[in-house]
Structure formats: structure tokens, C-alpha cells
């Protein structure tokens, strides 16, 4: 070692001066903090080279000692400065490497937003709750049905126009996509004796596709069969429903109509909840178009032929049934003017129906 033979103060001063240069050379090839710290202790530690050099201080003339002490301090400061500088540039290099990756590690997190229910789902759940509170059970069934469950059992004979290829989807094996949820009620009646008090929400299919019809749409039907179920019970049930769904001032209007599976049959209108059906607001109402009424579905007393088909005694029980389209209910309730919005899954539309 250069310090070994140090006899004079000047030799020792030179040894200290070359120490920091040697140290600089040594750490220039090191690339981790632990290696650099280790090198630092080899020079400045208890058994380090600077400490060994200091031990020679006793062998030199005392007049030279202050100069050697000053040289030792300069060497220590220089080495410490080199360590700090090297560690800082190492940290800088690590940061630069991080930032140059394709992932920007400094970007704030995106966060998670809870989803919302689709407006058609919301309307279905609300209808389920209202009828459940009136004692109706919620039942579902398969989308692919037999022609018998979908048509024959419902007093809809083979020559009825609804059974045309143009109006119904026929699938392989003689089955069809159900055109209403009535087969759910048929299955329920076939499965057990009266009473039956159910609603059947679900998707149905018709060969229709234009501005106001989609080939698939959700509907909800209801059926109440028991001894002495009357048309009055139907009216009362519908009134409670529209009042809970549209608002407690709502009234209903029943217009004579025809369905193969009910007799008598009626179209169901709800009084317009926007203008309350009252003039003069009514004359300009954008919702009911001045009529004061909103068409919401159909209804009637279950046809005796339906009871015959499912094996119920038409002299023992009576029943009412009704059906409504959920898209129409959602459009009326939320003021949606284009049916297609329900099926485009545009978040700008869907986010207008917050859940909670």
C-alpha cells in the first residue's frame, strides 16, 4: 500500500490525497447502494484504509500532524461526497427507467364506479315488488316452448294468424320461441290445482322489427285463479298497481277488446300522470297527446277453454289475467321517446338511470 512506508508528514498527506481518487475509481464500477456502502466502509470504517493511515500519525514529527489531520478530513469529506453523489445518480437512473416503461407509474388510479341497473330491469323489479305485495308469486319459464303451451292451451287454434311463420319464430324440433309469457301460467296450472296467483315477467319473441317493435321484448303477465275471482278483483288489482307504479292519483280505464284467451277482454289505460288527464294541460300534453290516457296493456277473465286445456273445472273456479310490455312501461315512466335506446347499451343513456 502507498501508505505503508510513510515516514514523513508529506508522504502521509499524499497518501490521503490519493485515497479519494482511488475510491472514486473503485466505485465507478459499482451499481448498487449496498456495494457502494461496503466500499465506503473499506475506506472510512473501523478497519478502513483511512483509519489505518491515521494510525501512522504517531510516527511523524508533531509539527507535520496538523497538515496530515487536515488532509485526512479532506479525504473523508471527498469520499462521503462521492458516495452521496453516486447514490443520487443511481436513484435518478432507477426513476428514469421507471418513467420510460410503457406503464406510467405516476398516473393516478382510475377508481371503480358501481354499475347501474338497466331501466328495463328496474321497471321489472318494481312491478315484481308491487304485485308481490298484493300476494302474487313471481314465476319464470323457458324461452323455447311447445306450440301447445304457447298457443293451443290458450284457445289459439292452428289457423289463428298469430301462428303464422311471419308472426312467430319456429325452431328445430317443432318448438317455438314463446310469443308471450302465458306458457309460464299454463305450466303453473298444469303443475297443480288452484288457487294460482302469479306474475310471469320475461323476454318474448315476435317476428317484428321496426321503429316501434323489436323482435325480442320483455313483458309481464299476471294470473289469478280461485273460487269467486271477479272482474271487480281485476279492476281493483290494476288500480292498486297503476297507483303504486305511476302515482297515487292515477286512475284506470278499461276498453272492450278481444284476446283469444280471455272473455270478456279489455285494453287497460292509465290516466296520464303528467297532465293528470285534466284540461287545459291535457290538450298540449306530450305524453298522452291530449287524450288524457296512456295505453299500458291488456286484460280479461280467463276463457273457459283455457281452464279446460289445463284440467281446471270452469264451474269451480274463475280467474283474471293481464299482460303489459315492459319497454312501454319504462318509456312512459321515464319519458323515453325512442325504443331503440333500451337496446343500444349507450352509457350516456344508461347512466341516466342511477340505482340506489
20 binds ligand 2NL (CB under 6 A): no
The distance of closest approach from Cβ of residue 152 to ligand 2NL in the complex, given in angstroms and rounded to an integer, is 12
Query: Which stretches of the chain are DSSP H helices?
Result: 9-27, 33-44, 49-55, 65-99, 119-133, 147-150, 182-191, 231-246, 304-310, 326-334, 347-350
Dihedral (Cα; 326, 329, 331, 334), 10-degree rounding: -120
- Binding test (CB under 6 A) with ligand 2NL, winner from 12, 13, 223, 270: 223
Q: Cα dihedral sign for 6, 7, 12, 18?
A: negative
The distance of closest approach from Cβ of residue 259 to ligand 2NL in the complex, given in angstroms and rounded to an integer, is 5
| Nearer CB in complex with ligand 2NL: 9/323 | 323
Spatial separation of the C-alpha atoms in residues 116 and 99, rounded to whole Å:
36
- Binding test (CB under 6 A) with ligand 2NL, winner from 12, 71, 285, 306: 306
262 binds ligand 2NL (CB under 6 A): yes
Q: Output the nine-digit C-alpha cell for 197.
A: 296467483
The distance of closest approach from Cβ of residue 293 to ligand 2NL in the complex, given in angstroms and rounded to an integer, is 15
Task: Give the range of 156-164, 230-238, 316-324, 347-355 binding ligand 2NL by CB under 6 A.
Answer: 316-324
- How would you list the strands of the sheet with 293-302, edge to edge? 137-138, 196-205, 216-226, 318-325, 293-302, 262-271, 252-259
The distance of closest approach from Cβ of residue 197 to ligand 2NL in the complex, given in angstroms and rounded to an integer, is 13
| Nearer CB in complex with ligand 2NL: 40/149 | 149
HEC profile for 267-298?
EEEEECCCCCCCCCHHHHCCCCCCCCEEEEEE
The distance of closest approach from Cβ of residue 306 to ligand 2NL in the complex, given in angstroms and rounded to an integer, is 5
Spatial separation of the C-alpha atoms in residues 99 and 91, rounded to whole Å:
12
Task: Give the range of 8-16, 102-110, 320-328, 346-354 binding ligand 2NL by CB under 6 A.
Answer: 320-328
| Nearer CB in complex with ligand 2NL: 151/322 | 322
The distance of closest approach from Cβ of residue 338 to ligand 2NL in the complex, given in angstroms and rounded to an integer, is 20
298 binds ligand 2NL (CB under 6 A): yes
Spatial separation of the C-alpha atoms in residues 178 and 147, rounded to whole Å:
8
Site for ligand 2NL in 176-195 (CB under 6 A): 182, 185-186
- Other CB atoms within 10 A of residue 8 CB: 13
Site for ligand 2NL in 325-344 (CB under 6 A): 325
The distance of closest approach from Cβ of residue 109 to ligand 2NL in the complex, given in angstroms and rounded to an integer, is 47
| Nearer CB in complex with ligand 2NL: 69/260 | 260
Return the SS3 of 226: strand
Listed in sequence order, the residues at least 6 apart from 4 whose beta carbon sits closer than 8 Å to its beta carbon are: none
Residues engaged in binding ligand 2NL (CB under 6 A): 182, 185-186, 219, 221, 223, 259, 261-262, 297-300, 302, 306, 321-325
Amino acid at each position: 500500500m502507498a501508505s505503508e512506508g510513510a515516514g514523513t508528514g508529506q508522504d502521509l498527506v499524499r497518501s490521503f490525497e490519493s485515497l479519494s481518487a482511488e475510491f472514486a475509481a473503485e466505485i465507478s464500477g459499482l451499481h448498487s447502494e449496498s456495494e457502494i456502502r461496503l466500499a465506503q466502509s473499506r475506506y472510512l470504517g473501523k478497519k478502513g484504509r483511512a483509519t489505518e493511515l491515521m494510525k501512522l500519525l504517531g510516527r511523524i514529527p508533531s509539527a507535520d500532524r496538523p497538515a496530515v489531520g487536515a488532509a485526512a478530513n479532506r479525504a473523508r469529506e471527498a469520499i462521503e461526497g462521492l458516495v452521496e453523489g453516486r447514490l443520487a445518480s443511481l436513484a435518478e437512473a432507477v426513476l428514469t427507467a421507471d418513467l420510460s416503461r410503457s406503464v406510467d407509474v405516476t398516473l393516478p388510479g382510475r377508481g371503480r364506479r358501481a354499475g347501474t341497473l338497466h331501466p328495463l330491469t328496474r321497471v321489472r323489479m318494481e312491478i315484481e315488488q308491487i304485485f308481490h305485495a298484493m300476494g302474487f308469486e313471481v314465476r319464470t319459464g323457458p324461452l323455447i316452448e311447445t306450440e301447445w303451451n304457447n298457443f293451443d292451451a290458450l284457445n289459439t287454434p292452428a289457423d289463428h294468424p298469430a301462428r303464422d311463420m311471419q308472426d312467430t319464430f319456429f325452431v328445430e324440433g317443432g318448438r317455438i320461441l314463446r310469443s308471450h309469457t302465458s306458457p309460464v301460467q299454463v305450466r303453473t296450472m298444469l303443475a297443480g290445482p288452484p288457487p294460482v296467483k302469479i306474475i310471469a315477467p320475461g323476454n318474448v319473441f315476435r317476428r317484428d322489427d321496426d321503429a316501434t317493435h323489436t323482435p325480442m321484448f320483455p313483458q309481464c303477465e299476471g294470473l289469478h285463479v280461485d273460487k269467486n275471482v271477479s272482474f271487480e278483483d281485476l279492476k281493483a288489482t290494476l288500480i292498486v298497481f297503476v297507483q303504486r307504479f305511476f302515482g297515487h292519483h292515477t286512475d284506470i280505464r278499461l276498453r272492450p277488446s278481444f284476446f283469444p284467451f280471455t272473455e270478456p277482454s279489455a285494453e287497460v289505460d292509465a290516466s296520464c300522470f303528467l297532465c293528470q288527464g285534466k284540461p287545459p294541460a291535457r290538450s298540449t300534453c306530450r305524453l298522452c297527446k291530449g287524450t288524457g290516457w296512456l295505453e299500458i296493456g291488456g286484460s280479461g277473465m280467463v276463457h273457459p277453454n283455457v281452464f279446460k286445456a289445463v284440467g281446471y273445472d270452469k264451474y269451480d273456479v274463475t280467474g283474471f289475467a293481464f299482460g303489459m310490455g315492459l319497454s312501454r312501461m319504462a318509456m312512459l315512466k321515464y319519458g323515453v321517446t325512442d325504443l331503440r335506446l333500451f337496446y343500444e347499451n349507450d352509457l350516456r343513456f344508461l347512466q341516466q338511470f342511477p340505482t340506489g
